[in-house]
Copies of this chain bind each other. A is one copy, B any other.
């Protein structure tokens, strides 16, 4: 189904039209390769074991990206919101089974680009290739930060980082998942919130 420019978020338009200076024609050409997926709340956009088919942009909604251990325990690596690119990049680029699950936390609208279309488009519009190199570099840096945070910060400091970055997170993500992200019990998170809100 064709996607019209009026149906994509202002950030998506800004990214391509202002930040990397696409022409109208380039933008329409690119958009013609995208398809839109609706992923209702709690449904999976990607499951570990599948091959990630898409380079995917969250036009609306939020997801949790998590990994499971051998006992089936779930471990949230990070949440992603509007204007983020999501998926399992290694699975996408190397066409190997994903190790990350991507599950909708709200009803989501995701704009998807297949690998061969991305490659074709990249040949036609080289600055698109450059854009993804830059985006992935920034994503890489934020993963390093996340690793540093997980290794070196207390639950309280990780909580403070999270609400500083996403002040609206408790309105959008159930508390149990935020607790899982922070590696603490939901009760401890409730106590922590209460304590910090009294400061």
- Give chain A's interface residues, CB within 8 Å of chain B: 67-69, 73, 75-77, 89-90, 93, 99-100, 133, 136-137, 139-141, 143-148, 150-153, 183
Contact of A68 among B76, B90, B152, B183 (CB under 8 A): B152
Residues of B within 8 A of A139 (CB): 140
A191 vs chain B, min Cβ distance (A) = 22
Q: Is the CB of A153 within 8 A of B90?
A: no
Contact of A73 among B77, B93, B141, B152 (CB under 8 A): B152
Residues of B within 8 A of A144 (CB): 77, 89-90, 100, 143
Q: Is the CB of B148 within 8 A of A147?
A: no
Residues of B within 8 A of A145 (CB): 99
Contact of A148 among B77, B136, B137, B141 (CB under 8 A): B77
Top 6 A-B residue pairs of the complex, sorted by shortest distance between their CB atoms = A140-B140, A75-B151, A75-B152, A90-B141, A69-B152, A67-B148
Question: Bound complex: CA of A147 vs CA of B99, how far in Å?
Answer: 12
Q: Is the CB of A150 within 8 A of B152?
A: no
**Can you name the residue of chain B whose Cβ is closest to the Cβ of A154?**
B69
A19 vs chain B, min Cβ distance (A) = 16
Residues of B within 8 A of A90 (CB): 141, 144
